[in-house]
C-alpha cells in the first residue's frame, strides 16, 4: 500500500509570496492528484498528472516519477488561495483495475493580506 | 453541465441505526468512488463502482456497502452505525476508471 507524505503540514504566508507544497509517495503510481478543499468540505480537483509539469493560471504542478515526488506551486499568492491542499495517488493494481485514491494528510495554507 | 450531487447534505443518526447516502454523478460519467473523511484518519477510500460493478474496495468493515444503478447513480449504506462512523462522506465521479475525479459536496453524518 502506498504511503503519501506531504510537507509542510501548515503554512502561513503573505499575499504575493511564492508557495511550494511537497508530496512524496512510496511505490509506483498510475497518476498523482492535487486537490483543494475549502472550509465546509467541498473538494476541487486541481491537477491530475503522471509525468512532467502542468500549469493552470497561477498554479503549477510538477512530478518526478523516478524520485516519487511532486510539488504544487502557487505564484503571486492571494488570500482566496487559503485552503487545504491534498495530494493523492492512484495506485497501480495488478490486472489494470483502477484506482482508489490514497491521500496525504493535507497542507493547511493561510495567505494573509 | 451539472456537477456531482449528494443527498442528503446533513444527517444525524443514533448508534445501531443504518443509513443510506446517495450520489448522482456528472452526466456521462460511469465511475463513482466513495471516500470517508474524519479529523483523525483524513480521507480514506471506501469503494469504487464502474458499470454497476464494484471494482475496488478499501479497508473498511462489511457494515459499509454500496451499489451502482444502470444510470450510474450510486448509493452507499452503513449498517449498525457506530460513533466512529461520524464523518464527511464524499463521492466522486469520473468518465471512466483512471480519469480525473470530480467531487460532490459531501454528506456530513453525525452518529449520536
Question: Inter-chain contact A100–B47, Cβ cutoff 8 Å?
Answer: yes
Cβ-nearest to B88 among A31, A41, A97: A41
* Lowest-confidence region among A5-9, A62-66, A96-100: A96-100
Question: Inter-chain contact A98–B56, Cβ cutoff 8 Å?
Answer: yes
If one compares A32 and A93, the residue with the highest pLDDT of the two is A32
Of B82, B72, B80, B78, the C-alpha closest to B33 is B72
To probe the interface with A, which of B57, B88, B96, B100 has the most A CB atoms within 10 Å? B100
CA dist., res. B87 & res. A42, Å (int):
14
Edge to edge, what strands does the sheet with A69-74 contain? A4-7, A19-25, A69-74, A59-64, A52-56
Q: Smallest CA–CA separation between A41 and chain B, in Å?
A: 7
Pairing relationship of beta strands B31-38 and B53-57 according to DSSP bridges: unpaired
Strand, helix or coil for residue A57: coil
Which pLDDT score is estimated for A21?
98
Which pLDDT score is estimated for A92?
65
User: Cell 473538494 appears where?
Assistant: A43
* pLDDT tens string A9-32: 999 999 999 999 999 999 888 899
If one compares A90 and A37, the residue with the highest pLDDT of the two is A37
Three-state secondary structure of A96-112: CCCCCEEECCCEEEEEE
Of B23, B106, B42, B57, the C-alpha closest to A98 is B57
- Compute the mean pLDDT over every residue in chain A, rounded to the nearest whole number: 91
Cell of A107: 497542507
Amino acid at each position: 500500500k502506498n504511503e503519501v507524505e506531504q510537507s509542510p503540514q501548515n503554512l502561513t504566508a503573505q499575499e504575493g509570496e511564492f508557495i511550494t507544497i511537497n508530496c512524496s509517495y512510496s511505490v509506483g503510481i498510475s497518476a498523482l492528484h492535487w486537490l483543494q478543499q475549502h472550509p465546509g468540505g467541498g473538494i476541487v480537483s486541481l491537477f491530475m498528472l503522471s509525468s512532467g509539469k502542468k500549469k493552470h493560471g497561477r498554479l503549477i504542478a510538477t512530478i518526478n516519477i523516478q524520485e516519487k515526488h511532486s510539488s504544487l506551486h502557487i505564484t503571486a499568492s492571494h488570500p482566496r488561495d487559503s485552503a487545504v491542499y491534498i495530494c493523492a495517488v492512484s495506485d497501480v493494481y495488478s490486472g489494470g483495475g483502477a484506482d482508489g485514491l490514497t491521500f496525504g494528510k493535507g497542507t493547511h495554507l493561510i495567505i494573509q493580506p | 453541465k451539472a456537477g456531482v450531487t449528494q443527498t442528503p447534505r446533513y444527517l444525524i443518526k443514533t448508534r445501531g441505526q443504518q443509513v443510506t447516502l446517495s450520489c448522482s454523478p456528472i452526466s456521462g460519467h460511469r465511475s463513482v468512488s466513495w471516500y470517508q473523511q474524519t479529523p483523525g484518519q483524513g480521507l480514506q477510500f471506501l469503494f469504487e463502482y464502474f458499470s454497476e460493478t464494484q471494482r475496488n474496495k478499501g479497508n473498511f468493515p462489511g457494515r459499509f456497502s454500496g451499489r451502482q444503478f444502470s444510470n450510474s447513480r450510486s448509493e452507499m449504506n452503513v449498517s449498525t452505525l457506530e460513533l466512529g462512523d461520524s464523518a464527511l462522506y464524499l463521492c466522486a465521479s469520473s468518465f471512466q476508471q483512471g480519469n480525473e475525479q470530480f467531487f460532490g459536496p459531501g454528506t456530513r453524518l453525525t452518529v449520536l
